[in-house]
Amino acid sequence: MHTLRASKYGLSIKQLPSSIVEVIDALTKAGYQAYIVGGGVRDLMLGLQPKDFDAVTNATPAQVKEVFGRRCRIIGRRFELAHVYIGRDLIEVATFRAPPKKAVTSAQGMILRDNNWGTIEQDFVRRDFSINAMYYQPRQGVILDFCNAIDDVKSRTLRLLGDPKTRFEEDPVRMLRTLRFAAKLNFSIAPEILDVFTPEMTQLLRDISPHRLYDESQKLFTMGHLQHVLSLLIDFGVWKQLFAEVRPEVSKFIALAARNTDQRIQIGKTINPAFFYAVLLWNNFLERTDFYAAKGVVAAEARAQAGLDVLKRQSTRTIIPRFAETFIREVWEMQTRLLNPKPQQIEVLAGHARFRAGFDFLLLREKSGDENTQGMGQWWEAYQDMTTDEKEAAIAQYNRQRAKTRRSQSKVRIEEPEVDSSSIAPLVTEAPTRSRRSRQKSSAPVTSPAVAFSAQSGDSIDANHPILKRKRVQRDLSQVIFGPTQ
């Protein structure tokens, strides 16, 4: 073990939020050991701003709850933890782990239960990467390094503690963490990891709960390096394990959405991770919609059923929460409404709760070369910056253009063969042209074309004649689709 002086590596208690310091101080005052561990220490050493800080202690979760009372919640069954709430901050407090006395694992070697308490010397061995196994005591100003992790930080190398194959089998999610850290920190992956990180090894991710895989996918989407990690997911065969039927390729649309997501994170804007799921599954949604349309399902029902099918299929890998599914389907539905809005509804549509997400999606499609947007992405972009008078003028211009387009589409020219009109007797005798006054004075009943034809030809037609009755057309019910199809 090496005891490092924290100030030598740029760490200071002044860099820490008051919440993590309060947790460390409370546990120390209660007579327990307490350290900051994991990504928070690593990021501070690399000059990055950590998103959160985790604590580790020799106090059991029950003892942690005794220290913090109602501000503490114990969570987890496989891996029991204490969540401590300090104001609006949540601090995760773990207990030192020891090797299990009797391993409780699956047939593939995944650890199913890991609640054996131990010492700090036993705990560091249980951690995944060396760079996440440094323990920082802010009051004492020291860092405990049990595995020469500082050397891996200096060489910017990802190295697993122990045998990589065994560590992946214990928890297959470590494969996702490997790619996430490699992309986020721009670290190289150690050769011994590359030797076992094969497409066959990625099959172990099928044993992970779809709920947990969804949480891990959100970390990939929101870390600010989505562009880099997408190519790694394809190269290492992980893409197929996360996304059910999405082609393993980064299309121009996906690449543009990933770059836009990273840029928003870098400037501090909020993002909705479900938005990128809508981008990933867009082509699958279009293909499924065409499938139902080909069966004669009306457009609105085809889109609704296609959205359900695609999201249900994706849930076999990552279960998207219900509120996120609703958001994705609304973004997809907004595409149709934004492409061909009714002029009188444009103003209301611009105030819709999902307008911004739908517009961003449409504009990304247009910028990626999707010709089906018909330039409406730029139209909506310009519309949002207009004054009230300019908006009215734009809507009027849009209405005129829309009417002109509809008229041009409705003109269908049918070429009729030329015939000799003199050889065909007219069905209805053309009446001589009369003035309005003479038409008003005339009290003769109006003669229908059928009766006129009867009078001309000499045949009698009564009320029951078939020509005066509407012919009923029998429909082939075997070709009618009742409700959603499978």
* Rounded average pLDDT over 440-466: 49
Question: 485 pLDDT band (50/70/90 cuts)?
Answer: low
The confidence score (pLDDT) of residue 270 equals 85
Is the per-residue pLDDT at 420 higher than 70? no
The confidence score (pLDDT) of residue 482 equals 55
Question: 466 pLDDT band (50/70/90 cuts)?
Answer: low
Active site (annotated) includes residue 151: no
Topology of the domain comprising 2-159: Beta Polymerase; domain 2 (3.30.460)
On the question of a common fold for 2-159 and 288-406, the answer reads no
Q: Which tens digits make up the pLDDT trace of 167-214?
A: 999 889 999 999 999 999 999 999 999 999 999 999 999 999 999 999
Q: Among 128, 152, 171, 262, which one carries the catalytic annotation?
A: 128
Q: Among 43, 52, 151, 360, which one carries the catalytic annotation?
A: 52
Active site (annotated) includes residue 54: yes
Active site (annotated) includes residue 215: no
Where are the chain's structural domains? 2-159, 288-406
Is the per-residue pLDDT at 473 higher than 90? no
Give CATH for domain 288-406. Answer: 1.10.3090.10
Q: Among 54, 114, 123, 152, which one carries the catalytic annotation?
A: 54
Please state the three-class secondary structure of the chain as a single string: CEEEEHHHHCCCHHHCCHHHHHHHHHHHHCCCCEEEECHHHHHHHCCCCCCCCEEEECCCHHHHHHHHHHHEEEECCCCCEEEEEECCEEEEEEECECCCCCCCECCCCCECCCCCECCHHHHHHHCCEHHHCEEEECCCCEEEECCCHHHHHHHCEECECCCHHHHHHHCCHHHHHHHHHHHHHCCEECHHHHHHCCHHHHHHHHHCCHHHHHHHHHHHHHCCCHHHHHHHHHHCCCHHHHCCCCCCCCCHHHHHHHHHHHHHHHCCCCCCHHHHHHHHCHHHHHHHHHHHHHCCCCHHHHHHHHHHHHHHHHCCCCCCCHHHHHHHHHHHHHHHHHHCCCHHHHHHHHCCCCHHHHHHHHHHHHHCCCHHHCCHHHHHHHHHCCCHHHHHHHHHHHHHHHHHHHHHHHCCCCCCCCCCHHHCCCCCCCCCCCCHHHHHHCCCCCCCHHHHHHHHHCCCCCCCCHHHCCCCCCCCHHHCCCCCCC
Share of the chain above pLDDT 70, in %: 81
Whole-number average pLDDT of the chain: 84
